[in-house]
DNA sequence: ATCTATGGTTTTTTT
DNA sequence: AACCATAGAT
């Protein structure tokens, strides 16, 4: 253990300074279970990390005795970073991580007891779905009647409740069939030595509940368990925590019921009330002072969330009263909404606000397209968070599948993915034969393939050759070898025509994969292939380069939780989009959407824009939407409408309320040009109007050209064509 | 066996 | 608009 730092606790002056009374109370609480109700922007992360630092530096516990759980890798990383800044300790060996990451760690350490192969691999949701499809085909189940996606939700959902197939109550034949698939799926995963996300948790839970000595060992070790975003825990996670806490340990849970936005994934806010009961919690501390947002923003958020029932009750306040009003903009179309936003961003930029200080939020990933397009035309740099992650790209998954198969030949999923990619003359017919043979002999596909001849045995030979050629190589070189000898590189290089560009990007990504491997080897003690593959599954999205650039943040509202920005744009505030249509089918769905809106609003420190469009492209066709009902739930006197309300273009739509007309911004000026208009110039080429001055032919316009940059042009001379 | 065209379906949010 | 699965063409 590290030297006792608790001889001279300097934290009373530095560590604890600046905490408000409830924060201080939470941080210095004696060892007992507690629930900290921490509102948005109330210093939740600070309290959590400071408490850990406090416990360690006062000698209450050694770093070894702490278990800190978060939901995202980002949050875990943040905690570690802050902690190392507060304390001169090595955070490396500490158990700080996500539920999935920690369970993985535990299962790796006790793989035998958990009945898993040492190098078990993790299926991401895509892998899981294809595994399920495979099972369904084998069981000859009609995928019209049983959509694979639904099956996936059923299986994951059951696991998140802590239910194995035989635990699920099936009263009707329909459900019984699903249970069959669940059971068969689990058996298949076991055969192949793979686990899905929820299996990590369930397997870990079962391991601890069955194995008393192991359970006791960890219970005695983790004297203090701290959980972030407790409102997002599902029943299984809660049971897992209970198990580790045992009778004697303290569970320090931090959460905000108003920010519970993952019920669709099995999260159960009810866990907060259960915690109070199960742990006989006496310390409920509310952090209600918000240090983030101006008063108007907070007032709007509070007004909105007050429409929800069954809240634990919290009153968020700030000493920063007032501030700007919330700006609301109604655009005719999604494209014009995007152009408006671009205009505002430019303005904010000239006022000195950095792009990184601004965020563009939307309800669903598909909405980023239009926004991105406008940003590209305007030459503004941005960064999309979430969406398709690096390790989820098909070329990356293909490359990794080779590695997985090389390491674990039982992995049928991996084999099927690459046996004919790139194409090597093994078609559907051959694959079927292999599957039949495997079934008949009761072996894995790999063994069946090894028995076959011709092209199939050539494939088997290829994998084996790669394995022996790379067995002694460091990770990045293994990677390179596989990329070349699998034929992936050549395959993408030979792509031409329409797919050329796409293939080039894929090649770039493959190169990037080698870089990622190199980086991984440098940063991790355990630089084994298994470890890297685990990293790829568990931290698929964390791979973000160029964070230091001044770039705008684009992300879903979900992804924005926990973040804050000086200026925030909430876009697509239309009924059926936000709140989302599908939420109406679910019990309590609207309340969850409202909490989501609450999260969105409370991301903003100073300025908040909310916009919507009368018309937008949705699923490939034009749709007309009414303004989001959430806008009506915001106090009118906190809002500033930026657009005059035009008559709705849709004769069938009638928006039930009107707002005071405000000066129109970005309207067509007397020059005949308006900002956001795409134009063509004979010499400079394509561009977008970003500013208009003067009137008639005396005026001039500012155009940002794709290639020639930004220029002011006198209308009298410049020949501009509208695009 | 593989490529291409077609048509039907789809997307909410994610560790 | 993009993705997928399947049928038909090569």
Residue A95 pLDDT: 94
At residue A134, does pLDDT exceed 80?
yes
**Considering the domain boundaries, does residue A5 fall inside one?**
no
Average pLDDT over residues A686-702: 63
Tens digit of each residue's pLDDT (9 = 90 or more) over A346-372: 999 999 999 999 999 999 999 998 999
Residue A470 pLDDT: 94
A80 touches strand C (CB under 7 A): no
Does one domain contain both A251 and A104?
A: yes
Give the closest residue to A68 by CA, choosing from A87, A58, A53.
Answer: A53
CA of A132 to C1' of B8 (A): 22
Residue A453 pLDDT: 83
Question: Got the DSSP string for A127-172?
Answer: HHHHHHHHHHHHTT--TTTS-HHHHHHHHHHHHHTT--GGGS---S
Query: Domain boundary at A289, A321, A350, which?
Result: A289
A134 touches strand C (CB under 7 A): no
Tens digit of each residue's pLDDT (9 = 90 or more) over A28-63: 999 999 999 999 999 999 999 999 999 999 988 889
- Tell me which protein residue sits closest to nucleotide B10, measuring alpha carbon to C1': A619
In 3-state terms, what secondary structure has residue A363? coil
Query: Domain boundary at A192, A216, A232, which?
Result: A192
Task: Give, in degrees to the nearest 5, the angle at Cα A652 between A648 and A653.
Answer: 50
Site of tokens 């190199």: A518
At residue A113, does pLDDT exceed 70?
yes
In 3-state terms, what secondary structure has residue A261? coil
At residue A8, does pLDDT exceed 70?
no
| Lookup: nucleotide whose C1' is closest to A153 CA | B14
Instruction: Scan residues 598-617 of chain A and list those with Cβ within 7 Å of strand C.
Output: 617
Tens digit of each residue's pLDDT (9 = 90 or more) over A278-300: 999 988 999 999 999 999 999 99
How many domains, in total, are found in chain A? 5
CA of A362 to C1' of B12 (A): 11
What are the C-alpha distances in Å from A659 to residues A497, A512, A609? 52, 51, 16
**Considering the domain boundaries, does residue A76 fall inside one?**
yes
Please list the residues that pair with A685 across neighbouring strands.
A681
Strand pairing class (A66-70; A224-227): parallel
Average pLDDT over residues A634-658: 59
Q: How far apart are CA A258 and CA A278, in angstroms?
A: 22
Asked whether the beta carbons of A677 and A688 are under 8 A apart, the reply is yes
State the pLDDT confidence band at A117, using cuts at 50, 70 and 90: very high
Residue A674 pLDDT: 67
**Considering the domain boundaries, does residue A441 fall inside one?**
yes
Task: Report residue A681 as tokens.
Answer: 């110039």
State the pLDDT confidence band at A660, using cuts at 50, 70 and 90: very low
Asked whether the beta carbons of A255 and A75 are under 8 A apart, the reply is no
Residue A694 pLDDT: 58
**Considering the domain boundaries, does residue A245 fall inside one?**
yes
Longest dimension (CA), chain A: 86
Please list the residues that pair with A36 across neighbouring strands.
A254, A285
Strand pairing class (A358-362; A552-556): parallel
At residue A599, does pLDDT exceed 70?
yes
**Considering the domain boundaries, does residue A4 fall inside one?**
no
State the pLDDT confidence band at A10, using cuts at 50, 70 and 90: very low
Residue A667 pLDDT: 36
Asked whether the beta carbons of A122 and A534 are under 8 A apart, the reply is yes
Q: What does the CA dihedral A197, A199, A202, A203 come to, rounded to 10 degrees? A: -130
Q: What does the CA dihedral A218, A219, A225, A229 come to, rounded to 10 degrees? A: 80
Residue A184 pLDDT: 92
- Among A341-345, A666-670, A679-683, the range of highest mean pLDDT: A341-345
| Lookup: nucleotide whose C1' is closest to A364 CA | B12
Q: How far apart are CA A653 and CA A397, in angstroms?
A: 46
Asked whether the beta carbons of A595 and A264 are under 8 A apart, the reply is no
Kind and range of the H or E element at A196?
strand A194-196
Asked whether the beta carbons of A596 and A402 are under 8 A apart, the reply is no
Does one domain contain both A267 and A315?
A: no
State the pLDDT confidence band at A11, using cuts at 50, 70 and 90: very low
State the pLDDT confidence band at A392, using cuts at 50, 70 and 90: confident
Does one domain contain both A496 and A364?
A: no
Q: How far apart are CA A376 and CA A360, in angstroms?
A: 14
Tens digit of each residue's pLDDT (9 = 90 or more) over A374-385: 998 898 889 888
| Lookup: nucleotide whose C1' is closest to A539 CA | B15
In 3-state terms, what secondary structure has residue A207? helix
CATH number at residue A184: 1.10.10.160
Task: Report residue A272 as tokens.
Answer: 């907060």
Nucleotides of C under 7 A from a protein CB: 1-2, 5
Burial class (CB in 10 A: 0-12, 13-18, 19+), A477: middle
CATH number at residue A486: 1.10.486.10
Nucleotides of B under 7 A from a protein CB: 1-3, 9-15
Average pLDDT over residues A620-640: 91
Q: How far apart are CA A83 and CA A60, in angstroms?
A: 16
Residue A293 pLDDT: 93
Does one domain contain both A225 and A271?
A: yes
- Tell me which protein residue sits closest to nucleotide C1, measuring alpha carbon to C1': A620
Residue A386 pLDDT: 82
| Lookup: nucleotide whose C1' is closest to A427 CA | B1
Query: Domain boundary at A170, A192, A214, which?
Result: A192
What are the C-alpha distances in Å from A131 to residues A83, A119, A311, A516, A545? 40, 19, 40, 27, 32
Lowest mean pLDDT among A279-288, A325-334, A395-404, A691-700: A691-700
- Tell me which protein residue sits closest to nucleotide B9, measuring alpha carbon to C1': A619
Does one domain contain both A628 and A519?
A: no
Q: pLDDT exceeding 70 applies to what percent of chain A?
A: 86
Q: Which residues of A are tagged catalytic?
A: 44-45, 228-229, 259, 603
Average pLDDT over residues A6-18: 57
Higher model confidence: residue A73 or residue A10? A73
Residue A349 pLDDT: 92
Instruction: Scan residues 461-500 of chain A and list those with Cβ within 7 Å of strand C.
Output: none
Q: pLDDT exceeding 90 applies to what percent of chain A?
A: 57
CA of A201 to C1' of C10 (A): 50
A140 touches strand C (CB under 7 A): no
Does one domain contain both A101 and A228?
A: yes
Q: How far apart are CA A159 and CA A30, in angstroms?
A: 35
| Lookup: nucleotide whose C1' is closest to A71 CA | B15
Question: Got the DSSP string for A279-305?
Answer: TT--EEEEE-B-SSS-HHHHHHHHHHH
**Considering the domain boundaries, does residue A555 fall inside one?**
yes
Q: How far apart are CA A540 and CA A533, in angstroms?
A: 10
Burial class (CB in 10 A: 0-12, 13-18, 19+), A433: middle
CA of A388 to C1' of C8 (A): 33
Residue A9 pLDDT: 40
Average pLDDT over residues A624-632: 92
The binding site of A for ATP consists of 38-45
Neighbours of A428 (CB within 10 A): 8
- Which residues surround strand B, with CB < 7 Å? A 71-73, 98-101, 124-125, 147, 149, 197, 261, 264-265, 363-366, 386, 420, 423-430, 538, 540-541, 555-556, 558-559, 580-583, 586, 589, 619-620
In 3-state terms, what secondary structure has residue A113? coil
Tens digit of each residue's pLDDT (9 = 90 or more) over A159-205: 999 999 999 998 888 889 899 999 999 999 999 999 999 999 999 99
In 3-state terms, what secondary structure has residue A430? helix
CATH number at residue A56: 3.40.50.300
Q: How far apart are CA A492 and CA A227, in angstroms?
A: 45
Domain residue limits at A36: 11-112+201-289
Residue A717 pLDDT: 59
Residue A620 pLDDT: 81
Lowest mean pLDDT among A419-433, A492-506, A533-547: A533-547
Does one domain contain both A32 and A94?
A: yes
Lowest mean pLDDT among A442-451, A477-486, A509-518, A544-553: A544-553
CA of A157 to C1' of B8 (A): 28
Count CA within 13 A, CB hemisphere, residue A574.
23
Site of tokens 């509940």: A209
At residue A634, does pLDDT exceed 90?
yes
State the pLDDT confidence band at A310, using cuts at 50, 70 and 90: confident
CA of A82 to C1' of B13 (A): 29
Q: How far apart are CA A272 and CA A250, in angstroms?
A: 15
At residue A655, does pLDDT exceed 60?
no
CA of A626 to C1' of B10 (A): 23
At residue A538, does pLDDT exceed 50?
yes
Does one domain contain both A19 and A94?
A: yes
Does one domain contain both A336 and A484?
A: no
Does one domain contain both A406 and A459?
A: yes
Please list the residues that pair with A584 across neighbouring strands.
none
Residue A682 pLDDT: 67
State the pLDDT confidence band at A712, using cuts at 50, 70 and 90: low
Average pLDDT over residues A656-685: 52
- Tell me which protein residue sits closest to nucleotide C3, measuring alpha carbon to C1': A619
CA of A147 to C1' of C10 (A): 34
Q: Which H, E and C letters describe A655-713, residue by residue?
A: CCCCCCCCCCCCCCCCCCCCCCCEEEECCCEEEEEEEEECCHHHCEEEEEECCCEEEEE
Task: Report residue A542 as tokens.
Answer: 């964390």
At residue A641, does pLDDT exceed 60?
yes
Interaxial angle between packed helices A99-109 and A529-538, expressed in degrees from 0 to 180 and rounded to the nearest 10? 160
End-to-end Cα separation, chain A, in angstroms: 69
| Lookup: nucleotide whose C1' is closest to A388 CA | B14
Question: Got the DSSP string for A445-472?
Answer: HHHHHHH--HHHHHHHHHHHHHHHHHTT
- Among A309-318, A522-531, A626-635, A689-698, the range of highest mean pLDDT: A626-635
Average pLDDT over residues A332-339: 92
**Considering the domain boundaries, does residue A652 fall inside one?**
no
Q: How far apart are CA A569 and CA A610, in angstroms?
A: 6
Residue A428 pLDDT: 83
Site of tokens 């685990």: A534
Looking at residue A317, the DSSP 8-state letter turns out to be B
The binding site of A consists of 38-45
Residue A350 pLDDT: 92
Kind and range of the H or E element at A21?
helix A21-27
Q: Is the pTM of this model over 0.85?
A: no
Does one domain contain both A209 and A75?
A: yes
Residue A215 pLDDT: 94
Does one domain contain both A82 and A126?
A: no
**Considering the domain boundaries, does residue A646 fall inside one?**
no
Q: How far apart are CA A625 and CA A648, in angstroms?
A: 10
Residues with Cβ within 8 Å of residue A410, at least 6 apart in sequence = A117, A191, A192, A193, A444, A446
């Amino acid at each position: 253990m590290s030297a006792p730092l608790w001889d001279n606790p300097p934290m009373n002056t530095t560590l604890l300074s600046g905490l408000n009374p409830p924060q201080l109370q939470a941080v210095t609480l004696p060892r007992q279970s507690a629930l900290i109700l921490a509102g948005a922007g109330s210093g939740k992360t600070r309290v959590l990390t400071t408490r850990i630092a406090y416990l360690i530096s006062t000698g209450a516990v050694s770093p070894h005795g702490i278990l800190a759980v978060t939901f995202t890798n980002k949050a875990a990383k943040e905690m570690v970073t802050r902690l190392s800044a507060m304390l001169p300790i090595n955070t490396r060996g500490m158990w700080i991580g996500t539920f999935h990451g920690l369970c993985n760690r535990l299962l790796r350490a006790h793989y035998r007891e958990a009945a898993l192969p040492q190098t078990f691999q993790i299926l991401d949701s895509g892998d899981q779905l294809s595994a399920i499809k495979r099972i369904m085909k084998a069981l000859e189940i009609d995928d019209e009647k049983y959509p694979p996606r639904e099956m996936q939700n059923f299986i994951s959902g059951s696991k998140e409740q802590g239910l194995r197939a035989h635990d699920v109550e099936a009263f009707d034949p329909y459900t019984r069939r699903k249970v069959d698939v669940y059971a068969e799926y689990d058996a298949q995963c076991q055969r192949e030595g793979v686990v899905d996300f929820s299996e990590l948790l369930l397997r870990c839970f079962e391991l601890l509940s069955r194995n008393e000595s192991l359970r006791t060992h960890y219970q005695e070790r983790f004297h203090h368990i701290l959980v972030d975003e407790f409102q997002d825990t599902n029943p299984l996670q809660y049971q897992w925590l209970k198990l580790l806490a045992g009778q004697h340990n303290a569970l320090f849970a931090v959460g905000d019921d108003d920010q519970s936005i993952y019920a669709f994934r099995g999260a159960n806010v009810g866990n907060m009330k259960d915690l109070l009961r199960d742990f006989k919690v006496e310390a409920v501390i509310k952090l209600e002072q918000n240090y983030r947002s101006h008063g108007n923003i907070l007032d709007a958020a509070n007004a909105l969330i007050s429409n929800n029932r069954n809240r634990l009750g919290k009153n968020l306040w700030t000493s920063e009263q007032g501030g700007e009003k919330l700006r609301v903009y109604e655009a005719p179309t999604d494209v014009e909404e995007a152009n408006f936003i671009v205009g505002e961003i430019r303005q904010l930029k000239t006022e000195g606000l950095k792009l990184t200080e601004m965020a563009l939020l939307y309800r669903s990933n598909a909405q980023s397209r239009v926004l991105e397009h406008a940003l590209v035309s305007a030459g503004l740099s941005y960064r999309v968070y979430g969406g398709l992650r690096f390790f989820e790209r098909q070329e990356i998954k293909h490359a990794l599948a080779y590695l997985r198969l090389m390491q674990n030949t039982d992995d049928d999923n991996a084999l099927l993915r690459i046996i004919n990619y790139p194409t090597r003359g093994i078609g559907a017919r051959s694959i079927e034969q292999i599957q039949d043979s495997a079934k008949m002999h009761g072996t894995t596909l790999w063994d069946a393939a090894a028995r076959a001849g011709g092209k199939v045995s050539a494939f088997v030979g290829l994998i084996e050759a790669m394995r022996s050629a790379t067995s002694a190589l460091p990770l990045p070189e293994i990677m390179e070898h596989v990329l070349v000898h699998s034929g992936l590189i050549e395959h993408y290089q030979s792509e031409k025509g329409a797919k050329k560009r796409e293939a080039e990007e894929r090649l770039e990504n493959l190169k990037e994969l080698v870089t990622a491997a190199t980086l991984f080897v440098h940063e991790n003690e355990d630089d084994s292939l298994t470890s890297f593959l685990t990293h790829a599954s568990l931290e698929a999205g964390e791979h973000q380069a160029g964070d230091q650039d001044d770039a705008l943040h684009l992300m879903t509202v979900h992804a924005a939780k926990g973040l804050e920005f000086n200026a925030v744009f909430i876009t697509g505030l239309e009924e059926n989009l936000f709140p989302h249509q599908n939420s109406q089918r679910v019990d309590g769905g609207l309340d969850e959407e409202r909490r989501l809106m609450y999260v969105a609003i409370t991301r903003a420190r100073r300025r908040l824009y909310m916009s919507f469009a009368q018309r937008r492209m949705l699923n490939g066709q034009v749709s007309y939407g009414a303004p989001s009902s959430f806008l009506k739930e915001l106090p009118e006197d906190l809002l500033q409408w930026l657009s005059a309300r035009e008559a709705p273009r849709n004769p069938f739509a009638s928006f039930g309320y009107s707002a005071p007309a405000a000066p129109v911004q970005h309207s067509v000026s007397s020059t005949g040009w308006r900002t956001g208009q795409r134009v063509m110039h004979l010499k400079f080429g394509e561009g977008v109007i970003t500013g208009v001055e003067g009137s008639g032919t005396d005026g001039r316009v500012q155009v940002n050209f794709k290639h020639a940059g930004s220029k002011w042009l006198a209308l009298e001379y410049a020949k501009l064509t509208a695009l």
